[in-house]
Homo-oligomer: A and B are copies of this chain.
Protein backbone atom coordinates (compact mmCIF):
# COMPACT_ATOMS: atom_id res chain seq x y z
CA UNK A 1 0.00 0.00 0.00
CA UNK A 2 1.32 3.38 -1.02
CA UNK A 3 1.02 5.53 2.12
CA UNK A 4 -2.33 7.24 2.03
CA UNK A 5 -3.21 6.49 -1.60
CA UNK A 6 -4.74 3.08 -2.16
CA UNK A 7 -4.52 1.76 -5.72
CA UNK A 8 -7.34 -0.65 -6.46
CA UNK A 9 -5.97 -3.81 -8.00
CA UNK A 10 -9.16 -4.75 -9.78
CA UNK A 11 -10.60 -1.26 -10.35
CA UNK A 12 -14.23 -1.71 -9.34
CA UNK A 13 -16.72 -0.05 -11.64
CA UNK A 14 -19.65 2.27 -11.06
CA UNK A 15 -22.09 0.42 -13.30
CA UNK A 16 -25.26 2.39 -12.63
CA UNK A 17 -26.25 5.62 -10.91
CA UNK A 18 -29.15 8.02 -10.48
CA UNK A 19 -29.70 11.63 -9.45
CA UNK A 20 -32.96 12.90 -7.96
CA UNK A 21 -33.53 16.60 -7.28
CA UNK A 22 -35.93 19.34 -6.23
CA UNK A 23 -37.26 22.49 -7.91
CA UNK A 24 -34.15 24.65 -7.64
CA UNK A 25 -31.87 21.83 -8.79
CA UNK A 26 -34.17 21.29 -11.78
CA UNK A 27 -33.88 24.98 -12.68
CA UNK A 28 -30.08 24.90 -12.44
CA UNK A 29 -27.57 24.27 -15.24
CA UNK A 30 -27.61 20.50 -14.61
CA UNK A 31 -31.41 20.26 -14.27
CA UNK A 32 -32.06 18.42 -17.55
CA UNK A 33 -29.48 15.79 -16.60
CA UNK A 34 -31.26 14.64 -13.40
CA UNK A 35 -33.20 11.37 -13.61
CA UNK A 36 -36.16 13.02 -11.96
CA UNK A 37 -37.13 16.34 -10.43
CA UNK A 38 -40.01 16.95 -8.02
CA UNK A 39 -40.94 20.61 -8.38
CA UNK A 40 -42.84 20.48 -5.07
CA UNK A 41 -39.69 19.22 -3.26
CA UNK A 42 -42.03 16.87 -1.38
CA UNK A 43 -41.65 13.54 -3.17
CA UNK A 44 -45.15 12.59 -2.06
CA UNK A 45 -44.49 13.02 1.66
CA UNK A 46 -45.94 15.44 4.19
CA UNK A 47 -42.79 16.37 6.14
CA UNK A 48 -39.44 17.51 4.74
CA UNK A 49 -37.67 14.74 6.67
CA UNK A 50 -39.82 12.07 5.09
CA UNK A 51 -39.37 13.76 1.69
CA UNK A 52 -35.62 13.41 2.07
CA UNK A 53 -35.92 9.73 3.02
CA UNK A 54 -38.17 9.18 0.03
CA UNK A 55 -35.57 10.76 -2.26
CA UNK A 56 -33.03 8.15 -1.18
CA UNK A 57 -35.54 5.41 -1.88
CA UNK A 58 -36.28 6.78 -5.37
CA UNK A 59 -32.59 7.29 -6.14
CA UNK A 60 -31.60 3.73 -5.23
CA UNK A 61 -34.65 2.24 -6.97
CA UNK A 62 -33.81 4.20 -10.12
CA UNK A 63 -30.16 3.15 -10.12
CA UNK A 64 -31.14 -0.50 -9.57
CA UNK A 65 -33.82 -0.45 -12.26
CA UNK A 66 -31.40 0.82 -14.92
CA UNK A 67 -29.62 -2.53 -14.64
CA UNK A 68 -32.81 -4.46 -13.88
CA UNK A 69 -31.41 -5.38 -10.47
CA UNK A 70 -33.50 -6.18 -7.42
CA UNK A 71 -32.49 -5.24 -3.86
CA UNK A 72 -31.32 -8.79 -3.13
CA UNK A 73 -28.76 -8.49 -5.92
CA UNK A 74 -26.83 -6.08 -3.68
CA UNK A 75 -24.40 -7.49 -1.10
CA UNK A 76 -24.12 -4.33 1.01
CA UNK A 77 -25.44 -0.80 1.18
CA UNK A 78 -23.40 2.22 2.36
CA UNK A 79 -25.49 5.27 3.14
CA UNK A 80 -25.70 8.43 5.17
CA UNK A 81 -27.05 11.96 5.30
CA UNK A 82 -27.03 15.16 7.36
CA UNK A 83 -30.09 14.62 9.51
CA UNK A 84 -29.70 13.87 13.21
CA UNK A 85 -29.07 10.13 13.64
CA UNK A 86 -28.96 9.81 9.81
CA UNK A 87 -32.65 9.03 9.61
CA UNK A 88 -33.01 9.82 5.89
CA UNK A 89 -30.92 6.74 5.15
CA UNK A 90 -32.37 4.61 7.94
CA UNK A 91 -35.99 5.16 6.89
CA UNK A 92 -35.46 5.78 3.17
CA UNK A 93 -33.61 2.50 2.64
CA UNK A 94 -35.52 0.37 5.17
CA UNK A 95 -37.47 -1.46 2.45
CA UNK A 96 -34.23 -2.66 0.82
CA UNK A 97 -33.52 -5.89 2.64
CA UNK A 98 -29.76 -5.61 2.35
CA UNK A 99 -26.82 -5.53 4.84
CA UNK A 100 -26.55 -1.88 5.80
CA UNK A 101 -23.49 0.19 6.79
CA UNK A 102 -24.56 3.58 8.14
CA UNK A 103 -22.03 6.36 7.56
CA UNK A 104 -21.59 9.87 8.86
CA UNK A 105 -19.17 11.89 6.79
CA UNK A 106 -21.33 15.03 6.56
CA UNK A 107 -21.29 16.24 2.93
CA UNK A 108 -18.44 13.83 2.09
CA UNK A 109 -20.67 10.80 2.64
CA UNK A 110 -21.16 9.78 -1.01
CA UNK A 111 -17.40 9.70 -1.55
CA UNK A 112 -16.65 8.08 1.84
CA UNK A 113 -19.16 5.38 0.90
CA UNK A 114 -17.67 4.98 -2.58
CA UNK A 115 -14.23 4.47 -1.01
CA UNK A 116 -15.47 1.77 1.37
CA UNK A 117 -17.64 0.10 -1.28
CA UNK A 118 -14.76 0.09 -3.79
CA UNK A 119 -12.23 -1.31 -1.32
CA UNK A 120 -14.53 -4.16 -0.31
CA UNK A 121 -15.33 -4.97 -3.95
CA UNK A 122 -11.68 -4.81 -4.95
CA UNK A 123 -10.86 -7.68 -2.65
CA UNK A 124 -13.83 -9.84 -3.47
CA UNK A 125 -15.52 -9.59 -0.08
CA UNK A 126 -18.53 -8.25 -1.93
CA UNK A 127 -19.41 -8.51 -5.59
CA UNK A 128 -22.00 -5.72 -5.85
CA UNK A 129 -22.56 -2.77 -3.51
CA UNK A 130 -24.64 0.39 -3.46
CA UNK A 131 -23.90 3.86 -2.10
CA UNK A 132 -26.62 6.42 -1.37
CA UNK A 133 -26.66 9.86 0.18
CA UNK A 134 -28.92 12.89 0.28
CA UNK A 135 -29.69 16.32 1.64
CA UNK A 136 -32.85 18.42 1.61
CA UNK A 137 -32.83 22.22 1.81
CA UNK A 138 -35.98 22.58 3.90
CA UNK A 139 -35.11 19.75 6.30
CA UNK A 140 -31.56 21.03 6.71
CA UNK A 141 -32.55 24.65 7.23
CA UNK A 142 -34.84 23.87 10.13
CA UNK A 143 -32.39 21.45 11.72
CA UNK A 144 -29.22 23.51 11.33
CA UNK A 145 -30.51 27.09 11.18
CA UNK A 146 -34.18 28.18 11.27
CA UNK A 147 -37.36 26.92 9.63
CA UNK A 148 -37.61 28.76 6.31
CA UNK A 149 -40.94 30.29 7.40
CA UNK A 150 -38.89 32.57 9.71
CA UNK A 151 -37.45 34.31 6.64
CA UNK A 152 -33.95 34.53 8.09
CA UNK A 153 -31.36 36.59 6.24
CA UNK A 154 -28.57 34.64 4.56
CA UNK A 155 -24.95 35.81 4.71
CA UNK A 156 -23.14 36.43 1.40
CA UNK A 157 -20.72 33.59 2.18
CA UNK A 158 -23.52 31.13 3.02
CA UNK A 159 -24.32 28.20 0.73
CA UNK A 160 -27.62 26.67 -0.32
CA UNK A 161 -28.20 23.06 0.74
CA UNK A 162 -28.98 20.93 -2.30
CA UNK A 163 -32.30 19.08 -2.31
CA UNK A 164 -31.16 15.90 -3.94
CA UNK A 165 -30.06 12.33 -3.63
CA UNK A 166 -27.51 10.33 -5.59
CA UNK A 167 -27.27 6.54 -5.72
CA UNK A 168 -24.47 4.44 -7.18
CA UNK A 169 -24.19 0.72 -7.93
CA UNK A 170 -20.64 -0.66 -7.95
CA UNK A 171 -19.37 -4.04 -9.09
CA UNK A 172 -16.03 -5.82 -9.02
CA UNK A 173 -16.55 -6.99 -12.57
CA UNK A 174 -18.78 -5.26 -15.03
CA UNK A 175 -18.63 -2.34 -17.40
CA UNK A 176 -18.71 1.18 -16.10
CA UNK A 177 -16.64 4.07 -14.82
CA UNK A 178 -13.58 2.65 -13.04
CA UNK A 179 -12.54 3.65 -9.52
CA UNK A 180 -8.77 3.23 -9.77
CA UNK A 181 -7.46 4.97 -6.64
CA UNK A 182 -8.96 6.09 -3.33
CA UNK A 183 -7.56 8.18 -0.51
CA UNK A 184 -9.49 8.63 2.75
CA UNK A 185 -9.28 12.11 4.26
CA UNK A 186 -8.12 13.27 7.68
CA UNK A 187 -10.04 15.66 9.93
CA UNK A 188 -8.51 19.12 9.65
CA UNK A 189 -9.52 22.06 11.84
CA UNK A 190 -7.98 25.45 11.12
CA UNK A 191 -10.07 27.28 13.68
CA UNK A 192 -12.88 28.61 11.47
CA UNK A 193 -15.96 29.24 13.64
CA UNK A 194 -18.22 31.04 11.13
CA UNK A 195 -21.02 28.62 10.26
CA UNK A 196 -21.97 30.98 7.44
CA UNK A 197 -18.68 30.20 5.74
CA UNK A 198 -18.44 26.43 5.58
CA UNK A 199 -16.43 26.64 2.36
CA UNK A 200 -13.54 28.27 4.19
CA UNK A 201 -13.81 25.71 6.99
CA UNK A 202 -13.62 22.75 4.58
CA UNK A 203 -11.03 24.13 2.13
CA UNK A 204 -8.01 23.23 4.36
CA UNK A 205 -9.14 19.59 4.39
CA UNK A 206 -9.38 19.58 0.58
CA UNK A 207 -5.90 21.10 0.39
CA UNK A 208 -4.55 18.52 2.89
CA UNK A 209 -5.87 15.65 0.79
CA UNK A 210 -4.73 17.15 -2.53
CA UNK A 211 -1.27 17.86 -1.09
CA UNK A 212 -0.91 14.32 0.21
CA UNK A 213 -2.19 12.91 -3.06
CA UNK A 214 0.16 14.79 -5.36
CA UNK A 215 3.13 14.35 -2.97
CA UNK A 216 2.70 10.56 -3.05
CA UNK A 217 1.47 10.06 -6.61
CA UNK A 218 3.36 9.98 -9.88
CA UNK A 219 0.61 12.19 -11.31
CA UNK A 220 0.27 15.94 -11.42
CA UNK A 221 -2.82 18.10 -11.79
CA UNK A 222 -2.44 18.31 -15.57
CA UNK A 223 -3.02 14.57 -15.81
CA UNK A 224 -6.68 15.16 -14.90
CA UNK A 225 -9.46 16.47 -17.09
CA UNK A 226 -11.37 17.59 -14.01
CA UNK A 227 -10.57 17.98 -10.33
CA UNK A 228 -13.79 18.65 -8.46
CA UNK A 229 -14.36 19.36 -4.79
CA UNK A 230 -17.74 18.43 -3.34
CA UNK A 231 -19.28 21.55 -1.88
CA UNK A 232 -16.79 24.28 -1.06
CA UNK A 233 -18.86 26.90 -2.87
CA UNK A 234 -17.26 30.10 -4.12
CA UNK A 235 -15.48 30.93 -0.82
CA UNK A 236 -13.76 27.58 -0.47
CA UNK A 237 -13.21 27.29 -4.23
CA UNK A 238 -11.17 30.51 -4.22
CA UNK A 239 -8.95 29.19 -1.41
CA UNK A 240 -8.31 25.85 -3.13
CA UNK A 241 -7.76 27.57 -6.48
CA UNK A 242 -5.02 29.75 -4.98
CA UNK A 243 -3.41 26.61 -3.60
CA UNK A 244 -3.70 24.79 -6.92
CA UNK A 245 -1.78 27.61 -8.57
CA UNK A 246 1.21 26.60 -6.43
CA UNK A 247 1.11 23.30 -8.25
CA UNK A 248 1.32 25.10 -11.58
CA UNK A 249 -2.30 24.29 -12.30
CA UNK A 250 -4.09 27.46 -13.16
CA UNK A 251 -6.68 26.44 -15.71
CA UNK A 252 -10.11 27.51 -14.49
CA UNK A 253 -11.78 24.88 -16.63
CA UNK A 254 -10.06 21.98 -14.91
CA UNK A 255 -10.64 22.71 -11.22
CA UNK A 256 -14.24 23.15 -10.29
CA UNK A 257 -16.55 22.66 -7.31
CA UNK A 258 -19.81 20.73 -7.42
CA UNK A 259 -21.43 23.55 -5.42
CA UNK A 260 -20.65 25.94 -8.29
CA UNK A 261 -21.71 23.48 -11.00
CA UNK A 262 -25.20 22.67 -9.69
CA UNK A 263 -26.57 26.22 -9.43
CA UNK A 264 -26.19 29.41 -11.45
CA UNK A 265 -24.99 31.90 -8.85
CA UNK A 266 -25.92 34.86 -11.06
CA UNK A 267 -29.60 34.01 -11.32
CA UNK A 268 -30.50 31.51 -8.60
CA UNK A 269 -29.84 33.53 -5.41
CA UNK A 270 -27.77 30.78 -3.80
CA UNK A 271 -25.02 33.13 -2.57
CA UNK A 272 -21.76 31.10 -2.42
CA UNK A 273 -23.25 28.02 -4.17
CA UNK A 274 -24.58 24.59 -3.34
CA UNK A 275 -23.73 22.37 -0.38
CA UNK A 276 -24.93 19.26 1.42
CA UNK A 277 -24.59 15.50 1.06
CA UNK A 278 -26.76 15.71 -2.05
CA UNK A 279 -24.46 18.21 -3.79
CA UNK A 280 -21.47 16.06 -4.80
CA UNK A 281 -23.71 12.98 -5.04
CA UNK A 282 -26.08 14.49 -7.61
CA UNK A 283 -23.42 16.37 -9.59
CA UNK A 284 -21.49 13.10 -9.86
CA UNK A 285 -24.54 11.09 -10.90
CA UNK A 286 -26.20 13.71 -13.12
CA UNK A 287 -23.17 15.19 -14.82
CA UNK A 288 -19.65 13.90 -14.13
CA UNK A 289 -20.21 10.15 -14.55
CA UNK A 290 -22.20 10.63 -17.79
CA UNK A 291 -19.45 12.93 -19.10
CA UNK A 292 -16.89 10.20 -18.39
CA UNK A 293 -19.08 7.64 -20.15
CA UNK A 294 -19.43 9.93 -23.19
CA UNK A 295 -15.66 10.22 -23.42
CA UNK A 296 -15.61 13.94 -22.64
CA UNK A 297 -13.62 13.29 -19.44
CA UNK A 298 -11.07 10.52 -19.03
CA UNK A 299 -9.38 11.09 -15.68
CA UNK A 300 -11.26 12.80 -12.85
CA UNK A 301 -10.42 13.43 -9.18
CA UNK A 302 -13.39 13.94 -6.87
CA UNK A 303 -12.86 15.25 -3.35
CA UNK A 304 -15.89 14.69 -1.16
CA UNK A 305 -15.75 17.53 1.33
CA UNK A 306 -17.54 17.57 4.70
CA UNK A 307 -17.81 19.81 7.78
CA UNK A 308 -17.98 17.74 10.95
CA UNK A 309 -19.58 20.22 13.34
CA UNK A 310 -23.10 20.34 14.82
CA UNK A 311 -25.24 23.32 15.87
CA UNK A 312 -24.50 22.39 19.51
CA UNK A 313 -20.74 22.21 19.00
CA UNK A 314 -20.75 25.71 17.50
CA UNK A 315 -22.87 27.08 20.37
CA UNK A 316 -20.31 25.57 22.76
CA UNK A 317 -17.53 27.53 21.07
CA UNK A 318 -15.92 24.78 19.03
CA UNK A 319 -14.53 25.47 15.57
CA UNK A 320 -15.42 23.54 12.41
CA UNK A 321 -13.36 20.48 11.45
CA UNK A 322 -13.40 19.57 7.78
CA UNK A 323 -12.63 16.36 5.92
CA UNK A 324 -12.02 15.53 2.24
CA UNK A 325 -12.11 12.00 0.84
CA UNK A 326 -10.62 11.48 -2.64
CA UNK A 327 -11.47 9.09 -5.46
CA UNK A 328 -9.84 8.82 -8.88
CA UNK A 329 -12.30 7.93 -11.63
CA UNK A 330 -11.25 6.71 -15.06
CA UNK A 331 -13.05 6.04 -18.29
CA UNK A 332 -13.20 2.33 -18.99
Contact = CB atoms under 8 A, between A and B. Distances in A.
A86 interface: yes
Interface stretch (A35-43, A119-127, A192-200): A119-127
A61 to B, nearest CB: 16
Contact of A127 (B1, B104, B310): B1
Contacts of A44: none
Interface in A84-136: 84-87, 90-91, 93-94, 97-106, 112, 115-116, 119-120, 122-127
Contact of A99 (B4, B76, B311): B4
Identify which of A76, A100, A186, A309 gathers the most chain B CB atoms within 10 Å of its CB.
A100
A281 to B, nearest CB: 16
Contact of A309 (B1, B90, B100, B308): B90
A312 to B, nearest CB: 6
A173 interface: no
A113 to B, nearest CB: 10
Tally of this chain's copies: 2
A310 B94 contact: no
A91 B321 contact: yes
A123 to B, nearest CB: 3
A119 B102 CA distance: 16
Nearest to A313: B87
Interface of A: 1, 4, 6, 47, 49-50, 75-76, 80, 82-87, 90-91, 93-94, 97-106, 112, 115-116, 119-120, 122-127, 183-187, 189, 308-313, 316, 318, 321, 323
10 contacts: A76-B184, A84-B84, A85-B310, A90-B187, A99-B184, A101-B105, A101-B116, A102-B106, A116-B116, A123-B125
